[in-house]
Amino acid sequence: MAKDNFPTLNALGSATDGYTVTPDDEADLDPVPRALWVGGGGDVAVTLPSGDVTLKNVPDGTLLPVRALRVLEASTATEIVALV
């Protein structure tokens, strides 16, 4: 299980760190991010606490305020950064 530094996170507060994401169907994001930055647009398939969802046609340079547990290999977006 991935470390979650912000288990009761609300919408307030800025990220203080980040790491590059390689989509992987088996590996959890660790630590769980506050949000995802999408540098190169496309679809972003993620596992959220409630299940899998695909965010379609995400434009270049988008900040996604999602607490994703995984970024899945079905993603076509590139240059994804997890912000923690």
pLDDT in tens, 7-45: 655 545 788 899 999 999 999 999 999 999 999 999 999
27 to each of 2, 31, 33, 44, how far by Cα in Å? 9, 11, 14, 16
CA distance readout (Å), 15 to 28, 65, 84: 19, 11, 5
pTM: 0.86
pLDDT digits (tens, 9 = 90+) for 57-81: 999 999 999 999 999 999 999 999 9
